[in-house]
Amino acid sequence: MIVTLSLVILTPIVMCICLSVKSSLLFESLPVGKIFFTSAWEPSKGNFGFLPFILSSIFITFLAVLIAGPVCLFSALYLTQYARVRLVRIMQPVIDILAGIPSVVYGVWGIIVIVPFVSNVVAPLFHIQTTGYTLIAGGIVLAVMITPFILNILIEILRTIPSELSEATLSLGATKWEVIKHVIVRKAKPGIVSAFGLGVSRAFGETIAVLMVAGNVAKIPGGLFDPVYPLPALIANNYGEMMSIPLYDSALMMAALILFVSILVFNFFSRISIYHLERNL
Amino acid sequence: MLHMTKEKIHIENLEVSIGKEHILKNINCTIPEKKITVILGPSGCGKTTLLKSMNRLTDLYSDVKINGKIELNGKNIYNGISDINDLRRKMGLLSQRPAPLPMNIFNNVAYGLKISGRRKKRYLRLRVEHYLKQANLWDEVKDRLYSPANSLSIGQQQRLCLARGLAVDPELILADEPTSSLDPISSQAIENRLMELKNHYTIIVVTHALRQARRIADYIIFLYLGEIIEQCEASEFFNNPKNEITKAYLRGSFN
Ligand SMILES: Nc1ncnc2c1ncn2[C@@H]1O[C@H](COP(=O)(O)OP(=O)(O)OP(=O)(O)O)[C@@H](O)[C@H]1O
Ligand SMILES: [Mg+2]
């Protein structure tokens, strides 16, 4: 048991070390500022500016959680507070199935439904012309993908809130909605934050589906209707090709390292905020 | 003694089933005003269900069927009252495990007042202090009113729940085994409070601790397997029980 446990703990450490070693070459050849804060991505000229990819990843993740978060929260509240037991029993396997659909299927669905929808319906509303392969298309597909995942966690969390708490609040003359707003959501806040946090981690690393609909142009996106090129897509699209270009291999390792470290740092901060929220209940 | 007091709640032919289970059968009883009525009975006999059907918390159960009549001040609460929230506000609830709201101590007590529209700071402060004193908690918390309620000990939390319930000015206090998760001293504190509060409130206490019933009860309702076996003055119940099941229960033959 100790062996397997140490394997579990060692894997990320080893991973981190490998990625650092491999990407150190890039650090040696380019100044840090140039790697992280410039947007010129011209591997053949030796320019590796990661800013467009980093921003793409952040924007698309933020957008996805912004869309999925409220939807999941209200659905979970409805299912746990209002819905009849039968509906919950029907919904549970549906959510599990949605969670189990392979990423590539969501991607295909994005291409045949969301991309044209963005191109033909949403963009014209703003008098914009686009192919549809955009930040917003990626955000929507990603939101749909992380929804069952977040929803499941939220339902789990809301179920753990003791019924005595609602009963006590109702006995003070509160309406059902006041119970939900003032007590249940507040009590569940640490859990809600961690569910959204896990959603962020999920969305940040999601690759295939996003790659299929996001457009993949290495430029800082200026708006919802610009294409984006998130880090995982960069790695998946290019690894194994163009390896003859000097430093390219190292740059992709750098992309992986950025992903890895961001998720680590993000998890760390969400843990801290959960801790503080829990203490203040 | 009983015939001199007004009846606060009157229950007629109450039947409660949950799913296929018939939980309460043909309940007929009366709760006297400004007395402590203890609902006594072994585990699972339906005490909590009876208590919760009085403020319609049973409505929250899925698949519940309720027939019969429960009158509060002469008005049937299952037929012809429009405002369930108002009905519930009239009955302060103390549950088995204290369930403080996820807020600070002050707001736990002020919450009921706030949602009924009373938000003036000064007024709230005076009320909160008043009710915390009534629940005998003020001295222990007056310097930490703004710390989270769940930083209190369980016994303090239960007194906080009492203060919170009193703050909305109920007519009744429904207490479901209010001391079963408390240590002896905290239990004593709650019991003493209830004894004092009965001058102003009608109190119903569910318990299966016979000794507690002896100490606090004016009137007893003895439930067994969903039926009322005996209801009478406490002295009568303990000194001169009529029913064989009651006698066995008092001997401690089952719990
Ligand atoms: N929400 C519910 N759904 C289904 N059955 C329930 C529910 N609540 C209670 N019951 C059933 O109703 C019966 C009476 O329960 P109740 O909680 O009223 O008993 P009690 O006398 O309060 O017991 P205890 O002393 O253990 O608290 C039990 O058989 C219980 O299984
Ligand atoms: Mg009970």
Say whether A162 and B97 touch across the interface (CB within 8 A). Answer: yes
In a domain, A221, yes or no: yes
Contact residues, chain B, for A169 at CB < 8 Å: 101, 111
pLDDT digits (tens, 9 = 90+) for A41-74: 888 888 888 899 999 999 999 999 999 999 999 9
Q: What is the mean pLDDT of residues A21-48?
A: 85
B145 against A249, higher pLDDT: B145
Look at residue A153 and give its three-state secondary structure: helix
In a domain, A260, yes or no: yes
For B94, name the nearest residue in chain A, comparing CA atoms only.
A168
End-to-end CA distance of chain A: 37
Distances (CA, A) of A245 to A20, A37, B229: 20, 22, 91
Which CATH number covers residue A243?
1.10.3720.10
> Quick check: B32 and B1 in contact, CB under 8 A?
no
In a domain, A38, yes or no: no
Which amino acid appears at position B88 of this protein? Answer: R
Query: What are the structure tokens assigned to A77, written together?
Result: 């509240």
- ipTM comes to 0.91
Q: What is the mean pLDDT of residues B233-246?
A: 90
10 Å CB burial of residue A6 (0-12, 13-18, 19+) is: exposed
The parent domain of residue A270 ranges over: 57-280
Which atom from ligand 1 is nearest to the alpha carbon of B52?
18
Query: What are the structure tokens assigned to B66, written together?
Result: 């309720």
For the four alpha carbons of B84, B86, B91 and B92, in that order, the dihedral sign comes to: positive
* Closest CA–CA distance from residue B62 to any residue of chain A (Å): 7
The DSSP secondary-structure symbol of A119 reads I
The DSSP secondary-structure symbol of B183 reads -
Position A280 scores a pLDDT of: 67
Which residues, listed in sequence order, are joined to residue A228 by a DSSP beta bridge? A215
For chain B, how big is the Rg over CA atoms in Å? 18
Has residue B1 got a pLDDT over 90? no
- Write down the pTM of the prediction: 0.88
In a domain, A27, yes or no: no
Domains of chain B, with CATH numbers? 2-90+170-251 (3.40.50.300), 99-169 (no CATH)
Domains held by chain A: number: 1
Bridging pattern class, strands B7-18 and B21-32: antiparallel
Ligand 1 test: best mutation among B48, B61, B207, most atoms within 8 Å of CB?
B48
Look at residue B176 and give its three-state secondary structure: strand
